[in-house]
Structure 1
Amino acid sequence: MKDLLLGASYIPRAFGQLLRPGTRRYVLLPILVNVLVFIGLFWLAADQFAALLAAWLPDPSAYSGEGAWNGFMRGLLSILAWLFWPIFVLAAGILMFYSFTVVANLLGSPFNGMLAARLERELSGGRQPPELPGQGIALEAAVSVATELRKLAYFALLALPLLALSAVLFFVPVVNLLIPFLWAAYGGWVMALEYMDYPMANHGYRFAEERALLRRRRGLAFGFGLGLLAMTLVPVLNLLAMPTGVIAATWLWHERLRAQSAG
Structure 2
Amino acid sequence: MLRDLADGARTLLRGFGFWRVDPGVMLLGLVPAAIVFAVLVWGLVALGIGLPGLVDWATPFADGWDEFWRNAFRALVAVVVFAAAAVLAFVTFTALTLIVGDPFYERIWKRVESHVGGDVPAEGPSFWSGVRGGLVLMLQGLVSAAAVAAVGFLPVVGGVAAAVLGAVLTGRILARELAARALDSRGLTFADRRALYRRHRWRLLGFGVATQLCFLVPLGAVATMPAAVAGATMLARRMLAEP
Aligned residue in 2 for 1:132:
123
Structure 1: 5+ residue runs without aligned partners?
A: 46-93, 134-139
Residues 182 and 116 (structure 1), Cα distance of their counterparts in 2 relative to 1, 3 Å cut = same
**Where do 1:84-233 residues align within 5 Å?**
100-124=93-117, 127-129=119-121, 131-132=122-123, 143-144=126-127, 146-176=128-158, 177-207=160-190, 209-233=192-216
Query: Counterpart in 2 of 1:16?
Result: 17
Give me the TM-score of the superposition, normalised by structure 1.
0.62
Larger Rg over CA atoms: 1
Asked whether the equivalents of residues 6 and 223 of structure 1 are also in contact (C-alpha less than 8 Å), the reply is yes
User: What displacement does 1:221 show?
Assistant: 0.5
Name the CA distance, whole Å, in 2 between partners of 1:179 and 1:35: 28
Q: Which runs of no fewer than 5 residues in structure 2 stay unpaired? A: 44-85
Q: For 2:135 and 2:214, how far apart are their aligned partners in 1?
A: 23
Distance 1:194 1:212 in 2: 15
- CA-based RMSD of the aligned residues comes to 3.1
Q: Note the C-alpha offset of 1:35.
A: 4.0
CA distance in 2, matches of 1:212, 1:244: 26
The 1:36/1:239 distance shift into structure 2, 3 A limit, reads closer
Match of 2:31 in 1: 32
Question: Partner of 2:205: helix, strand, or coil?
Answer: helix
What aligned pairs does 1:44-123 form with structure 2 within 5 A after superposition? 100-123=93-116
Task: Report the number of matched residues.
Answer: 193
